[in-house]
Amino acid sequence: MAIEIEKKFLVVGDDWKNNTSSKIYFQGYICSGSGTTARVRIAGEKAFITIKGKHKGISRLEFEYEIPLEDAKILLKDICQQPIIHKRRYLKKFGDFLWEIDEFFGENEGLILAEIELSREDEAFPEPPWLGEDVTDDGRYYNASLRTNPFAVWGNKK
């Protein structure tokens, strides 16, 4: 069984951009609601379909499978709920951990989030200097929520 254990943070400053690699992502939702999602994602030249279960703390079930890129393009255009999330994902090593930092575009422009996947909920990790507020428990920052309630609408209203 695949379990995702993840924490999510706002990012401050731009020092995090040094020594990173990145890819453009397009991400759409076949369905989302009641805490579960089915999404399609194009990451660079690869594509995936992912099903996520409801959160239990910072953990949830996650099943992800690679699919043909052309299938993903059709799913994003013709099947997924609109609009599509568009972002650039950077990979940043800090200590022994790999951070995923998402810089959003479109209606979510200005939002930069850092995510870390852990091996257990109580796992300790060093906090990089560019790490801001912990927003793990704030549903507005989930990608599925950003699709229907974009950052541009509430960005300055915490």
Active site residues: 29
**C-alpha gyration radius of the chain:** 15
In order of 1, 99, 108, 113, 117, the CA distances from 84 in angstroms are 28, 23, 11, 17, 24
Please state whether the peptide bond connecting residue 83 to the residue before it is cis, i.e. omega within 30 degrees of 0. yes
Cβ distance 16 to 130 under 8 Å?
yes
Residue with tokens 């990790």: 125
